[in-house]
């Protein structure tokens, strides 16, 4: 099964990617992430060479790019976590949240709908959401799956909107979806702008602990690995068109939580008890601050037999230990140095791993668009020559520069011999377009295009397959030019 996980370089996403890559060797996991300030490939460096894992750097707000990726890889499942996720940032830049959380989700829905057409058998779009869409509770009561939405921050409003769109695509187009709404997560790889990692970092560095308002705000905390396990269960066993609330049965007032954290940190750091508590500083309240979140997770508990595996104290100790043992990670994220990781390991990657997000985006999209038009007009079942002729006309129509039937000195790596070979089209002096009319694209054709490229100065190849009901294609990089 081919699964796209979005936002897999972020906090929760990295745990989900790790779980799926290690637990399901027969799945192929594609992790798509824009690597914003919150995305960090160091979060998943331990699994980056797994054979069933591919990283794609990409932005979900780019509709064309999403279509391309979906067409190329033909995902059967989507687990969508990519989002702008920090309430405080949403207060200063709400539009960024609309773009990623609403429009980005729409793009994924549209791309899924396009490749799945009406064949929804064994397909699933899983949208990860938050309990914050339900608004704020008073001292009593819990959020259940039927609690009306009442978002108060631009973040929660954008998440609520995306949830509605997912549900609407299910009702309107029959798209098979499932949604889960989870409470506050904590654990390793959490970006230190959220309460728990920020305060751990500040305690280590003897910096003030800014408690908003009177500190009497309540959150329901869940260890991130337990959330990842719940996501695995919902993805595989959750019922279509259902929502599952996920929570830790673990409510804490912020100020009480901070005091426990200070106490545990004092013990870990060999400080006298009460030393870190002195860092607590009450600051101006967050505007529109939700008073209390609390999840009733009975449904997922009863239907899918899920419950948290650790107590809060166990989870907190594990989290503190992780931050103390991973000071380099913490330093890198706080200094912004983690961006270098991508540059070092991926931009210079000879394997062409991130081949899809790069070269000649516009040109290759234009060619793919022309091919789609020809495929839409002709359908499948013709000889390659028929597609080539129609494509030639379409290229002329769209002013795409091309040379046809170009003879190349093809170098077969295995046999160490040279042989003359013909490429169907060369476009823009940069891209080889190889037309096939087979039901499936065998590896040999992929290697053929790769070999074409090696024999040339061209940097990108497109292997277009007209033979199936749906046009499919592969983009191939000439890796010898990657720096
Ligand atoms: P995060 O901010 O740590 O990670 C988000 C990831 O998405 C990052 O890797 C970022 O690079 C990526 N991203 C952002 N914009 C993108 C774009 N336009 N295109 C592609 N990738 C993009 O967030 P998180 O805390 O891991 O949250 C993950 C999901 O879970 C979110 O949808 C969030 O709403 C939801 N959620 C989070 C919590 C929580 O406590 N953190 C609780 C419930 C639900
Ligand atoms: P946060 O981790 O930002 O998560 P969310 O806003 O999604 O619940 O905040 C958790 C709680 O901690 C929330 O009530 C706001 C409060 N808070 C502070 O008091 N000080 C801080 O510096 C931060 C980041 C949060």
HSE-CB for 92 with a 13 A CA cutoff? 4
**pLDDT (average), residues 73-94:** 94
Distance 227 CA to ligand 2 centre (A): 19
Which pLDDT belongs to residue 337? 63
Q: What is the pLDDT of residues 19-30, one digit of tens each?
A: 999 999 999 999
Q: What is the pLDDT of residues 88-117, one digit of tens each?
A: 889 888 999 999 999 999 999 999 999 998
Q: Is residue 160 lining ligand 1, measured as CB closer than 6 Å?
A: no
Spell out the domain ranges in the chain.
2-347, 359-481
Question: Is 282 annotated in the active site?
Answer: no
Catalytic residue among 131, 220, 226, 251: 131
Q: What is the pLDDT of residues 155-191, one digit of tens each?
A: 999 999 999 999 999 999 999 999 999 999 999 999 9
Q: What is the pLDDT of residues 270-287, one digit of tens each?
A: 999 999 999 999 998 998
pTM of the model: 0.82
Residue 86, pLDDT > 60, answer: yes
Which pLDDT belongs to residue 366? 85
- Which phi and psi (to 5°) does residue 236 adopt? -85, -40
Question: Is 30 annotated in the active site?
Answer: no
Looking at domain 2-347, its CATH superfamily turns out to be: NAD(P)-binding Rossmann-like Domain (3.40.50.720)
Average pLDDT, rounded, for the chain: 90
Provide the total of helices (H) and of strands (E) in the chain, helices listed first.
Answer: 16, 17
Q: Would residue 174 be called left, alpha or beta, if left means φ above 0 and alpha means ψ between -120 and 50 degrees? A: left
**pLDDT (average), residues 417-429:** 84
Residues comprising the chain, all counted: 483
- C-beta contacts of 224-227 below 8 A and 24+ residues apart: 224/11, 224/12, 224/15, 224/185, 224/186, 224/187, 224/188, 224/189, 224/190, 225/15, 225/19, 225/187, 225/309, 225/310, 226/308, 226/309, 226/310, 227/12, 227/15, 227/182, 227/185
Q: Is residue 34 lining ligand 1, measured as CB closer than 6 Å?
A: yes
Which pLDDT belongs to residue 353? 40
Which pLDDT belongs to residue 341? 60
Q: Is residue 128 lining ligand 1, measured as CB closer than 6 Å?
A: yes
Answer for the pair 17, 31: CB distance below 8 angstroms, yes or no. Answer: yes
Q: Is residue 261 lining ligand 2, measured as CB closer than 6 Å?
A: no
Q: What is the pLDDT of residues 342-398, one digit of tens each?
A: 556 555 444 444 443 445 567 887 898 899 899 989 988 899 999 999 999 999 999
Nearest to 14 by CA among 251, 207, 185: 185
Distance 226 CA to ligand 2 centre (A): 20
Low-confidence winner among 78-87, 129-138, 436-445 (lowest mean pLDDT)? 436-445
Which pLDDT belongs to residue 418? 63
């Amino acid at each position: 099964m081919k699964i796209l996980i979005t936002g897999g370089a972020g906090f929760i996403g990295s745990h989900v990617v790790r779980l799926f890559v290690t637990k399901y060797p027969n799945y192929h996991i594609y992790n798509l992430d824009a690597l914003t300030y919150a995305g960090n490939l160091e979060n998943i460096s331990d699994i980056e060479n797994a054979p069933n894992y591919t990283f794609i750097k990409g932005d979900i707000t780019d509709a064309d790019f999403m279509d391309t990726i979906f067409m190329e890889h033909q995902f059967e499942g989507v687990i969508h976590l990519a989002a702008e996720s920090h309430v405080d940032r949403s207060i200063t830049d709400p539009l960024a949240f609309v773009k990623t959380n609403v429009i980005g989700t729409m793009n994924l829905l549209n791309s899924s709908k396009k490749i799945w057409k009406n064949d929804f058998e064994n397909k699933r779009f899983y949208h990860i959401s938050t309990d914050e869409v339900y608004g704020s509770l008073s001292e009593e009561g819990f959020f259940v799956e039927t609690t009306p939405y009442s978002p108060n921050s631009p973040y929660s409003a954008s998440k609520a909107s995306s949830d509605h769109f997912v549900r609407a695509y299910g009702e309107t187009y029959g798209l098979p979806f499932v949604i889960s709404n989870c409470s506050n997560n904590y654990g390793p790889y959490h970006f230190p702008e959220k309460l728990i990692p920020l305060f751990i970092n500040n305690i280590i560095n003897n910096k003030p602990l800014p408690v908003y308002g009177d500190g009497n705000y309540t959150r329901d905390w869940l260890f991130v690995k337990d959330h990842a396990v719940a996501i695995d269960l919902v993805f595989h066993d959750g019922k279509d068109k259902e929502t599952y609330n996920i929570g830790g049965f673990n409510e804490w007032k912020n100020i009480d939580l901070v005091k426990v954290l200070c106490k545990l940190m004092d013990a870990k750091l060999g400080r006298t008890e009460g030393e870190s508590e002195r860092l607590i500083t009450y600051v101006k309240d967050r505007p529109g601050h939700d008073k209390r979140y609390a999840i009733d997770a009975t449904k997922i508990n009863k239907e899918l037999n899920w419950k948290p595996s650790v107590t809060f104290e166990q989870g907190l100790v594990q989290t503190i230990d992780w931050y103390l043992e991973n000071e380099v990670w913490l330093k890198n994220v706080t200094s912004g140095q983690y961006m270098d990781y991508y540059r070092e390991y991926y931009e210079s990657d000879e394997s062409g791993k991130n081949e899809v997000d790069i070269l000649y985006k516009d040109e290759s999209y234009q060619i793919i668009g022309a091919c789609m038009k020809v495929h839409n007009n002709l359908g499948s079942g013709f000889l390659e020559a028929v597609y080539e002729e129609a494509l030639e006309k379409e290229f002329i129509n769209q002013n795409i520069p091309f040379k046809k039937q170009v003879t190349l000195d093809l170098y077969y790596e295995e046999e160490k011999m040279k042989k003359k070979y013909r490429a169907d089209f060369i476009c823009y002096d940069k891209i080889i377009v190889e037309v096939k009319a087979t039901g499936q694209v065998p590896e040999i054709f992929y290697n053929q295009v790769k070999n074409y490229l090696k024999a040339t100065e061209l940097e990108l190849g497109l292997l277009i397959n007209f033979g199936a009901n749906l046009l499919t294609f592969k983009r191939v990089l000439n890796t010898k030019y990657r720096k």
